[in-house]
Amino acid sequence: MIGCLIIHGYTGGPHEVEPLAAYLREHTNWEVEVPTLPGHGKNLELDHVTHTAWLDAAENELEHMKAKTDKLYLIGFSMGGMIAAYLASKHDIEKLVLLAPARKYLSFLKMVKEVKGVLMDVFKGKIGENRFLKHYKNKWRDVPFKANLEFLKLVNFTRRHLAKVQVPVLIAQGLQDMMVPYKTVHRLDREIMSDQKEVVLFDRSKHLLCLGDDKDTLNAMVYQFLTEEDSN
C-alpha cells in the first residue's frame, strides 16, 4: 500500500490542502492523510502549544503510516513544508513535495500591495468582498504572540536539516505570494542536497497554492511527480 501524508501550514488546517488531497484520493488508491496539528483547525487554540508539539504530532502520524504502508510520500504546505523536509531528513520516504515552504517568512513588499488593495476596497465600498481580509482577519485576532515565536523556532530548527534531504523533491511557489517571498525557493534549491530537484513557479498564485487559480495545474503536477516512477 502507498501512503501520502500532507501537512498543513501555520494557523491553518486541512482545508488549506483539501483540493490536492481530494485529487489524490480520486486518482489513486493511496491512503491519504491530512492530520490537524495541535492548536490548529477551524478554532485556533495556540496559547500553550510549542513548536516541538507540532513536530512530534507530524512525526507520530508518519510513524503510524509507515507501519501500514510499503511506500510513503510527504507533502508539506508553508510551515508544513518545513516540517515535511525535516521528517524527510530523518525517515525513509520515497518523495517530497514542498508547497510554498516557509524557509523565510513574510514578503513585506507583497504585504504592502495587499494592504493597499484592502484600502482601495474600503474606498470603493467593497471591503466585504476582499479575499485577503476575509482569510487573515480572524488569524490576526486569534494568534498569540508566543505562538508566532514558536513558529520562528520551528523554522530555525528545521532549516538546519535541509541539507540532509536526499529524496526527490518538487518545490512549488506562487509568484504573487505575499507571505513567503518567491526567491525563497532558490535558497531551498541550494540548501537541499537531493540529486533530483524540480522548482516550479506559478504566475497567478498567492500563498494558498492549493486554493488558488493554478490549483488544477498544481494537482496534476504533484500527481505526475509522485507517480512518474511507477508509470516508468
User: Which of 40, 51, 78, 214 is labelled catalytic?
Assistant: 78
User: Which of 8, 205, 207, 214 is labelled catalytic?
Assistant: 207
User: Which of 51, 177, 205, 214 is labelled catalytic?
Assistant: 177
Cα 213 to Cα 201: distance, rounded to the nearest angstrom: 13
Cα 182 to Cα 173: distance, rounded to the nearest angstrom: 6
β-strand 169-174 against 197-202: which pairing, if any?
Answer: parallel
Cα 61 to its chain centre, rounded Å, is 16
**Is 78 a residue of the active site?**
yes
**Is 231 a residue of the active site?**
no
Render 151-209 in DSSP notation, one character per residue.
HHHHHHHHHTTGGG--S-EEEEEETT-SSS-TTHHHHHHHH---S-EEEEEESS--S-G
Question: Using alpha carbons only, what angle is made at residue 126 by residues 123 and 132, rounded to the nearest 5 degrees?
Answer: 100
Per the CB < 8 A criterion, the answer to whether 49 and 150 are in contact is: yes
Q: Whose grid coordinates read 477551524?
A: 42
**Is 70 a residue of the active site?**
no
Cα 169 to its chain centre, rounded Å, is 14
- Of the candidates 179, 161, 153, 187, the one whose C-alpha atom is nearest the C-alpha of residue 77 is 179
Catalytic positions are: 78, 177, 207
